[in-house]
Structure 1
Amino acid sequence: MGYADAYKDCEWMDFEVLEDFMKQVLLKSGIPEGDANIISDVLIESDKRGIDSHGIGRLKPIYIDRLDAGIMNPLTKVDVIKETTTTAVLDGNNGLGHVVAKQAMQMAIDKAKEHGMGMVAVRNSTHYGIAGYYTSMATKAGMIGMTGTNARPSIAPTFGVENMLGTNPLTIGLPTDEEFDFNLDCATSVSQRGKLEVYGRAGKDLPPGWVIDENGKTRTDTQQVLIDLTKGKAALAPLGGIGEETAGFKGFGYATVVEVLSAALQDGKFMKDLNGFDEEGNKIPYPLGHFFIAINTDAFMGEKVFRKIAGSIMRGLRDSKKAPGEERIYTAGEKEYLAWQYRKDHGCPVPSVLQKQMSELRDRWNLDFKFSWDS
């Protein structure tokens, strides 16, 4: 189920109510209804999948606070900068990343339907939620889906201590013949900032090896790490860990690939230009870049064949010999599917920190919601 300790002070909330609450908050923030529907759908999908770092937990600190600060545009205008039969470059004009991303992936899917493959690059966008939402759009259409995005600097290069690269997920979705598709959605760091925030809300120290300080030593003090990440006094270790012994250079390399593809194709910003602060320390926009790829399986041996073989591979992996003491092997997308099987009957866990944020947002706009924790 994910970070069990984070659930000890949770209230479990109905998904329909939670999604409606997020939509109403977004509407009050000046976001048009159609766009609010998209954003709340992306956020609730994260909570449904058990990805507690990117759902309701991001509503206030990432989206509402940035709208309040004037560093994100509530009205999302997407411009087509360049387009061919199989490619396009879009400019999000500092609008809501979810809206920009959904349009971009749909454009890639439409191109793939007609020409076999489609790729769309985006510049001047903002945080777009879980990357797996967009690869799922492709798999539902019987296609292979890929997306990546850069982000504010968090990862230190191997043998370095300065946060230079974003957590830069390289996300891939593959359609299968199972009840859930393969969906690999993870950062190119050992862990990502959102997961650190989950540990912070639970009052837990970080595991050693996730974060490196200015002296090259690991740190575990969650709350101060979250502060120091924004000050450049701490950095996330790349996937593989600190140094070369556990192959941290591989995560560093993949993070670099995502950074390049999120900036070079679309003439976008990168690395320190995504810090979110000017030279005087004032907040400024995070002009993120994304890329989206859709590959039509019908352009090869067909969707049915692809789904069957992909499913057979997943089942073969899960049925292989288990390590002593381990009951099962999971393939990417399975834990999220299992989380939904539980949560669809029990609701979404809302810890005390988020309860307070939700109450503040409700009271700010006098929204007609009564929460279980009000008493």
Structure 2
Amino acid sequence: MTQDIQYETFTKLQQFMILGFEAVGVPTADAQICAQVLIESDKRGIDSHGVGRFKPIYIDRIEAGIQNVNTQIEVIRETKTTAVLDGGDGMGHVIGVRAMQLAIDKAKAYGMGMVAVRNSTHYGIAGYYPIMAAKNGMIGITGTNARPSIAPTFGVENMLGTNPLTIGFPTDEAFPFMIDAATSITQRGKIEHYARINKTMPYGWVIDSHGAGVTDPNVALKGLVAGTCALAPLGGIGEDLAGYKGYDYATVVEVLSAALQGGRFLHQLSGLDASGKKQPYHLGHFFMAIDINAFTEVAAFEKTAGNILRALRASKKAQGQARIYTGGEKEYLAFLERSQHGVPLNPAVRTSLIAVRDQYQIDFKFSWE
């Protein structure tokens, strides 16, 4: 049976999220930033980090008192090329945009800039921040730790977050190169998406406390919170498919998201205090901007990068495969398609949006109504 899908434009979804964030107390300028980061995910076809998370991640956490609507950023330490910020458990999107802009400003002046952040919250799609750098003729890098989800290779306890290591840079094509991926074999947002559409997950994404695979997304989500399930690292379970590589990359992101800024790590990021009561997640991030002009002309870099990507796509294809993609290409194609048809919204997402509208008596009508 085909699921009931309705479509909404980028503009209307962004407008509604601004109104929703304002309704719970987020200042207008910050609400606009938050909505912009979220809609970027939907524009790129990454449904796991867009409007589907508006209520269950951000609105619900604000209502629970574990995320501050007024984002107060404190500069802890700063040099010409670096800075350490404390986000005060405010809106992660706002913290992320300001931190990456600071890194970009430093790179414009000195060739490179890096900003480390502590006491932040979920900052949305990680790829948003390297795109900021790419638009300025720079290479952008970011990473964030998260509540424990990944088990170490040969382990079953969820210790590390999904910890994306995200890199983007400009090319001479219509879109930048972008790798925005969890260091786990999948990430919680995709499991949440499978749960919303009531679909079984692929085997090998999640393991239970005995190391056996779990395919029910609802069981996985409950187990990830209870500590009875864990995500496999990128590569897979054990060493046969080099899962230790994903495990070690996740560890790198954990260290850079905690050790540079005196932040919290591993089970300190669970969102629960010693008595099991909800508390802020106190996440850490890092942002790097590298000015290409410090090395070569931006146009020359973009042409070489484009030539490499085009050569990869033109290489010999596996039998039965129509084409080869490069990083960021599928997201660009999704943007072109969704620009015409809108963002597909399943019943669960539509219900969550209407719930926010009704609860806060927001004067707004969606296209599907």
TM-score by length of 2: 0.99
Is 1:160 the counterpart of 2:155 in the alignment?
Answer: yes
Cα deviation for residue 371 of structure 1 reads 3.0
* Runs (5+) with no aligned partner, structure 2: none
Code of the aligned partner of 1:179: A
Classify the secondary structure of the residue corresponding to 1:80. strand
Look up the match of 1:317.
312
The Cα offsets for residues 7-46 of structure 1, whole Å up to 9 and x where unpaired, read as 8321101111111000000000100000000000000010
Look up the match of 1:229.
224
Q: Contact 1:19 / 1:44 at 8 angstroms: preserved in 2?
A: yes
Q: Tell me how many residue pairs correspond in the alignment.
A: 369
Q: Contact 2:7 / 2:368 at 8 angstroms: preserved in 1?
A: no
* Runs (5+) with no aligned partner, structure 1: none
RMSD: 1.0
Of 251, 269, 278, the residue aligned with 1:256 is: 251
Q: Contact 2:166 / 2:181 at 8 angstroms: preserved in 1?
A: yes
Work out the CA distance in 1 between the residues paired with 2:367 and 2:168: 37
Code of the aligned partner of 2:352: Q
Of 27, 49, 53, the residue aligned with 1:54 is: 49
TM-score by length of 1: 0.97
Cα deviation for residue 337 of structure 1 reads 0.2
The 4+ residue runs of structure 1 with deviation greater than 4 A are: none
Work out the CA distance in 2 between the residues paired with 1:69 and 1:14: 30
Cα deviation for residue 280 of structure 1 reads 1.9
Cα deviation for residue 279 of structure 1 reads 2.2
Look up the match of 1:216.
211
Code of the aligned partner of 1:226: L
Look up the match of 1:330.
325
Is 1:26 the counterpart of 2:21 in the alignment?
Answer: yes
Work out the CA distance in 2 between the residues paired with 1:372 and 1:93: 37
Work out the CA distance in 2 between the residues paired with 1:355 and 1:113: 42
Is 1:282 the counterpart of 2:277 in the alignment?
Answer: yes
Q: Contact 1:13 / 1:348 at 8 angstroms: preserved in 2?
A: yes
Of 350, 358, 370, the residue aligned with 2:353 is: 358
Map 1:79-228 onto structure 2 (within 5 A).
79-228=74-223
Cα deviation for residue 302 of structure 1 reads 1.7
Work out the CA distance in 2 between the residues paired with 1:127 and 1:266: 17
The Cα offsets for residues 43-70 of structure 1, whole Å up to 9 and x where unpaired, read as 0010000000111111111100100010
Cα deviation for residue 93 of structure 1 reads 0.4
Residue identity over aligned pairs, in percent, reads 61
Work out the CA distance in 1 between the residues paired with 2:317 and 2:146: 37
Look up the match of 2:260.
265
The Cα offsets for residues 263-312 of structure 1, whole Å up to 9 and x where unpaired, read as 00000000000001112221010000000000000000121111010010
